[in-house]
């Protein structure tokens, strides 16, 4: 499971200094007011995963123009989630070979259809 630790009060303080309301932030970030309040109060509700919450916190930081490292203090990747491992690893050769094979197969199929149709 992912471990996300952050300080939502930094976001709340920065928002108040900019004289913004929670619903202004919610509108700008396409969130509900409850989600904004949950982030600012470090509540676990209103988000399906810590990864989603982390992405929203990053967007919130960009919107307020503050350093994300001043808000997110710890984030560990979920080692059981392998959906992004191909992006991290350099599998260009394997992906390219697969693309070439698929292209050749499509070409041969098209050629056969043209010759025998």
pLDDT score, position 1: 41
User: What does the alpha-carbon distance between residue 62 and residue 58 come to, in Å, rounded to a whole number?
Assistant: 6
The pLDDT value recorded for residue 22 is: 93
Q: Is 33 exposed, middle or buried (0-12, 13-18, 19+ CB in 10 A)?
A: middle
Per residue of the chain (117 residues), give pLDDT as tens: 457 888 999 999 999 999 999 999 999 999 999 999 999 998 877 888 888 888 899 999 999 999 988 898 877 554 554 544 544 455 667 777 887 888 888 888 888 888 886
- How far apart are alpha carbons 101 and 114 in whole angstroms? 20
Relative orientation angle of helices 50-64 and 33-40, to the nearest 10 degrees: 90
pLDDT tens for each residue of 89-110: 556 677 778 878 888 888 888 8
Q: What is the pLDDT of residue 84?
A: 47
Whole-angstrom distance, CA of residue 96 vs CA of residue 86: 13
pLDDT at 78: 47
């Amino acid at each position: 499971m992912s471990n996300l630790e952050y300080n939502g009060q930094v976001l709340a303080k920065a928002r108040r200094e900019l004289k913004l309301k929670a619903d202004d932030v919610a509108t700008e970030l396409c969130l509900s007011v409850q989600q904004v309040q949950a982030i600012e109060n470090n509540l676990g509700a209103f988000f399906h995963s810590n990864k989603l919450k982390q992405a929203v916190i990053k967007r919130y930081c960009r919107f307020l123009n503050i350093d994300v490292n001043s808000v997110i203090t710890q984030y560990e990747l979920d080692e059981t989630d392998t959906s992004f491992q191909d992006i991290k690893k350099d599998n260009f050769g394997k992906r390219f070979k697969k693309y070439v094979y698929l292209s050749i197969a499509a070409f041969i199929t098209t050629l056969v259809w043209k010759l025998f149709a």
